[in-house]
């Protein structure tokens, strides 16, 4: 067995600047008079900020604004190295080379920003491009926040309720990307804070990077997303769109078809509709596909109105794998992935290409839907998703039960449907209000009005009947 002499752990400053003109603090492992060095997560802008003769925990001078946090980080990294040494020593393997190799293999993220970016990258590699965009947006906002504070990084030890409060306040100063005249929507702010919390929870529960009691969200509460009013069309407005005289084959004509096809089939989401293929149509006249958002399979009967739209697009040479609507290229590299399982195996760059193309087509359709609304003299903002809201509203007006709506909308449970329909269920309250304020009529006057409407012979008959 290898004889191990006393092992010591110290810090030293690398006097050679990095490409960023900063100076790294190194962890020096000394064993058998030999040194092994590992870079810590801390870099200083000035060599003068490091005190080589300082007591334990005071290496970074007070001249560096982050000295308290960074000194604490260095303590944690030294303790991590000592723990690795103790674990290897029990196995008789505590050589400095192996200590260094083990530390590098199990390197703890002290940088929360670095950890968040890696998690974002992992989500993309897993095929979750929808979430990747949200997480990437969060990382960009966090970097912008740090920049306003003249910082390039955020460490785990810096995560405090106070820091979360300042970040939330910063989010309220940002402009809405879709509408530069407005500020960031409160729900968008809530989504970013939820992502922040989710990443921290993963660092605690999965990667064990910080202790549960260090979770800054334990002492910080924020406003969750709230349900916003859902724009929707009524049956008469749908009829106005159906009756518009549009040139067949024109782009605006196609966009009306996409909207109505979605509406006719219980509000298919735009991303799913754009990617529908002829193999999604069954021989017994049904549309069967898997929803990208919920991964739930749907099977919907194709009634006449939906069939009529499909008839405009089917050609004798159409292949089962061809896209139904002329929106995506059936010969593009991403088109080879037909099922959701196959799409999940696409390389990240191809997933990005497909999603960006779908998003672009959705934006184009929405642009023309607003032209359609203008022509139909409908004073509402229309998008593909409004087809889903409109279907739900009209179904509710026709007394469709929520359990049936759950299946039609493809929700995973009834609570989601009840929350979704909460925006539309106004008929019952309308009836109650009407009954409360209904004008109370004088019974005698009501009878007089009824008698006036009856022929004289009918009145004489009624009087005779009352006598008996």
The pLDDT score that the predictor gives to residue 266 is 84
The pLDDT score that the predictor gives to residue 172 is 94
Residue 450: C-alpha distances to residues 341, 438, 456, 463, 467 (Å): 70, 19, 12, 14, 19
Is 80 exceeded by the pLDDT of residue 150?
A: yes
What is the DSSP code (8-state) at residue 440?
Answer: P
Whole-angstrom distance, CA of residue 172 vs CA of residue 176: 10
Is 70 exceeded by the pLDDT of residue 135?
A: yes
Read out DSSP for 46-71?
A: -GGGB-TTPPTT--B-TTSTTHHHHH
With residue 9 as reference, give the H or E element that holds it: strand 7-13
The pLDDT score that the predictor gives to residue 3 is 38
Angle of the 129-148 helix axis to the 161-171 helix axis, nearest 10:
100
Q: pLDDT tens digits, residue range 46-63?
A: 999 999 999 999 999 999
Contact indicator for 164, 217 with CB cutoff of 8 Å: yes
Among 132-146, 159-173, 434-448, whose mean pLDDT is lowest?
434-448
Query: What mean pLDDT, rounded, does the chain reach?
Result: 84
Partners of 43 in beta bridges = 24
Two tokens, residue 343: 């799409």
Is 0.75 topped by the overall pTM? no
3-state secondary structure of 268: coil
Within 282-426, residue ranges assigned H as helices are 304-311, 340-344, 348-375, 384-397, 402-409, 414-421
The pLDDT score that the predictor gives to residue 420 is 54
Is 90 exceeded by the pLDDT of residue 98?
A: no
Among 165-169, 176-180, 239-243, 335-339, whose mean pLDDT is lowest?
176-180
Angle of the 384-397 helix axis to the 251-264 helix axis, nearest 10:
40
**CATH number among 1.10.8.50, 1.10.443.10, 3.60.15.10, 3.40.50.2020, domain 235-421:** 1.10.443.10
Is 50 exceeded by the pLDDT of residue 2?
A: no
Two tokens, residue 277: 């293929």
The pLDDT score that the predictor gives to residue 414 is 57
Two tokens, residue 90: 């029990």
Please give the average per-residue pLDDT across 331-335, as a whole number: 92
Q: pLDDT tens digits, residue range 384-412?
A: 988 888 888 877 776 666 556 655 665 55
């Amino acid at each position: 067995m290898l004889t191990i002499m006393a092992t010591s752990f110290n810090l030293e400053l690398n006097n050679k600047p990095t490409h960023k003109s900063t100076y790294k603090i190194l962890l020096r492992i000394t064993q058998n008079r030999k040194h092994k060095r590992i870079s810590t997560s801390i870099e200083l802008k000035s060599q003068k900020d490091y005190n080589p003769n300082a007591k334990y925990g005071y290496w970074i001078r007070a001249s560096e604004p982050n000295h308290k946090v960074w000194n604490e980080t260095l303590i944690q990294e030294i303790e991590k190295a000592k723990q690795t040494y103790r674990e290897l020593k029990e196995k008789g393997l505590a050589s400095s080379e192996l200590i260094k190799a083990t530390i590098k293999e199990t390197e703890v993220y002290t940088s929360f920003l670095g950890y968040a970016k890696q998690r974002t990258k992992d989500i993309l590699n897993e095929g979750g491009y929808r979430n990747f965009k949200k997480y990437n947006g969060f990382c960009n906002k966090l970097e912008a926040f740090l920049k306003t504070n003249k910082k390039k990084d955020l460490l785990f030890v810096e995560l405090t309720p106070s820091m979360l409060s300042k970040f939330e306040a910063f989010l309220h100063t940002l402009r809405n990307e879709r509408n530069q005249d407005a500020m960031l929507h409160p729900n968008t702010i809530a989504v970013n804070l939820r992502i922040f919390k989710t990443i921290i929870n993963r660092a605690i529960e999965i990667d064990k990077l910080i202790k549960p009691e260090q979770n800054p969200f334990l002492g910080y509460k924020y406003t969750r997303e709230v349900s916003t009013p859902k724009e929707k069309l009524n049956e008469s407005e749908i009829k106005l769109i159906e009756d518009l005289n549009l040139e067949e084959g024109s782009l605006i004509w196609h966009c009306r078809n996409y909207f109505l096809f979605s509406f006719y089939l219980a509000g298919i989401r735009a991303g799913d509709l754009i990617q529908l293929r002829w193999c999604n149509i069954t021989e017994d006249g049904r549309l069967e596909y898997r929803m990208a958002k919920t991964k739930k399979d749907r099977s919907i009967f194709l009634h006449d109105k939906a069939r009529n739209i499909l008839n405009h697009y089917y050609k004798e040479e159409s292949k089962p794998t061809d896209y139904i609507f002329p929106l995506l290229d059936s010969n593009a590299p991403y088109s080879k992935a037909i099922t959701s399982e196959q799409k999940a195996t696409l390389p990240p760059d191809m997933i990005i290409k497909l999603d960006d193309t779908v998003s672009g087509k959705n934006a184009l359709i929405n642009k023309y839907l607003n032209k359609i609304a203008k022509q139909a003299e409908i004073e509402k903002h229309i998008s593909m998703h409004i087809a889903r809201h409109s279907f739900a509203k009209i179904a509710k007006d026709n007394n469709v039960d929520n359990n049936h709506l759950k299946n039609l909308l493809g929700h995973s449970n009834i609570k989601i449907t009840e929350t979704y329909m909460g925006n539309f269920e106004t008929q019952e309250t309308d009836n109650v209000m009407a009954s409360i304020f209904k004008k109370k009529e004088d019974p005698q006057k009501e009878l007089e009005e009824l008698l006036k409407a009856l022929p004289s012979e009918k009145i004489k008959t009624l009087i005779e009947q009352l006598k008996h």
